[in-house]
Amino acid sequence: MSDVAVVGAGPNGLAAAVTMARAGLSVQLFEAADAPGGGTRTTERTLPGFLHDVCAAVHPMALASPFFRAFELERRIELLVPEVSYGHPLDGGRAGIAYRSLERTVEGLGVDGPAWRALMGPLLRRLDGVTDFTQGNLLRVPKDPLAVVNFGVRVLLQGTPAWNVGFRSDIAPAMLTGVSAHAMGRLPALATSGAGLLLGVLAHARGWPVPRGGSRAIAQAMADDFQAHGGRIEMGRHIDSVAALRGETGAKAIICTTTPRALVRMAGAELPENYRRKLESFKYGAGVCKVDFALSGPVPWTASNLRLAPTVHLGGSREAIAFAEREVLKGRHPKSPYVLAVQPGVTDDSRAPLGQHTFWAYTHVPAGSTRDCSEEIIAAVEKHAPGFRDLILASSVLSAQEVAAYNANYIGGDIASGEVSIRQLLQRPVMSRDPWRTPVPGLYLGSASTPPGPAVHGMGGWFAAKSALKNTFGLPVPDLGLASEGVASKK
């Protein structure tokens, strides 16, 4: 028997489990797959010795997430922070480069450097306030109102047709659009511009880290801590009923890190009709088709400075990317799609045999698509790295439908676990000061379908755990750091 049952061992489920176990409660964690991690798994998907991150590969929130900072993730694993956060190639062998140094980035952008500094500088100076606002419930009172004003003004500018005001060249706007497209939504729009600005300022602040050895290191660090504090993990367990789980474990609190759709399936009979209807109306977004490549050597980018960038955004100009994303939202496969690519080997030499490389790329597709987009992705890379095709030793494809089968939270291949829009950032999945707490006593929801939304940050699970500690157990939030337990760093 246990005090707490957590459903799902992705980053949010692990964050919830760690928090509850640290509070001195007995906790059982249930995971349908045969390994923990969810969006942070690493496997040999192509050839022996080539380590591929199945989902997330680069982690802008690893050094910025309030949960990971409290958990002291950077002391537990080796996070490699590159000099270049991301790059964006354009025609003519040109490329925009976002260095961790804001001033170096400004210098490289030429005539648009001052506009980039004016956009990012105020956010960088008030980074903690920006992070606090964006990594919580947007309905709460912010700790730093000036940071919110600075952020909001820029979101309004970049999220409307006025988004080119102040720019004189095409490189800086393309860079912003490439980052904003991470949110898998309409461009321009307030929600996608907010995501882009947050990721953009983190690129110049704490950087976009790459975990040595793969994203699985993040999940393993949390699983190790959870088990060190008495937690139990059961793999290969599909939970079909909240009532049955409560009867099996005796848990006073159940934290589900699932989609609203799955929560209705597991607890529909217990949910009030009005709340259930809101969960059923929750919308899911576009899907992704992802391809992993084993390469015989590094990608031969025409713009040589791209060879330093773990993350590369492909798709051309601001207008071209916006058009491609609109096509996807209309249910079409664009001929020239936006492609998000990662070459972890430029920072982490443990991912492939000496001299060889792994390469990870996805493109957005209509939800539920069965299409193999390998050729579109290869063509997008070849355009800016002639000879890429000749380096391919092996590849492995996941269509949007297969992405959904891999992780039940990725409805239709939607790796954001819910459409990213202003409505669904305020109502995720309901509008409430405590959206992680359901109307059913002791039942909580803590997935990416709750605030603050998608990304590997653990925040949804952490907030759900904090709500459960307060409302079910009347306990304070525990210290999550290594020092509190007298545990040495494992790096």
Helix, strand, coil share of the chain (percent; to 5)? 40, 15, 45
Tell me, what's the pLDDT at 211? 98
440: Cβ contacts below 8 Å, ≥ 6 apart: 242, 267, 270, 271
Q: Which distant-in-sequence residues (6+ apart) come within 8 Å of 171 by Cβ?
A: 88, 90, 94, 95, 96, 109, 112
Q: Are 410 and 390 contacting, i.e. CB atoms less than 8 angstroms apart?
A: no
Q: Answer whether residue 218 is part of any domain.
A: yes
Number of other residues whose CB lies within 10 A of the CB of residue 77: 19
Query: Is there a cis peptide before residue 211, judged by omega within 30 degrees of 0?
Result: no
Query: Of 405, 9, 385, whose CA–CA distance to 224 is shortest?
Result: 9
pLDDT, tens digit, 9 for 90 and up, residues 206-253? 999 999 999 999 999 999 999 999 999 999 999 999 999 999 999 999
Question: What backbone phi and psi angles, to 5 degrees, belong to 86?
Answer: -160, 160
Residue 455's pLDDT is: 97
Helix (H) or strand (E) holding 304: none
Q: Round to whole Å and give the CA distance between 288 and 271.
A: 32
Overall domain count for the chain: 1
pLDDT at 169: 97
Q: What is the pLDDT of residue 488?
A: 45
Residue 312 lies in a domain: no
Residue 43 forms part of a structural domain:
yes
Is position 42 within any domain?
Answer: yes
How many whole angstroms separate alpha carbon 387 and alpha carbon 467? 53
Strands 357-365 vs 339-342: parallel, antiparallel or unpaired: antiparallel
* CA-CA-CA-CA dihedral for 97, 102, 106, 107, to nearest 10: -90
Give me the CATH number covering residue 14: 3.50.50.60
Alpha-carbon gap, residue 132 to 135, rounded angstroms: 5
pTM > 0.75: yes or no: yes
Strands (E), 345-388: 357-365
Element (H, E) at 95: strand 94-99
Residue 443 located in a structural domain:
yes
Is residue 62 a part of any domain in this protein? no
pLDDT beneath 70, residues of the chain: 484-491
406 domain residue, yes or no: no
Closest CA to 176 of 23, 363, 315: 315
Task: Determine the 3-state secondary structure of 272 from DSSP.
Answer: coil
Q: Sheet of 443-445: strands edge to edge?
A: 232-235, 27-31, 4-7, 253-256, 443-445
Q: Is residue 479 part of a domain?
A: yes
What is the rounded CA–CA span in Å between residue 373 and residue 388?
Answer: 16
pLDDT of residue 484: 65
Looking at residue 483, its pLDDT comes to 75
Domain of 235, in residue numbers: 4-57+213-282+417-485
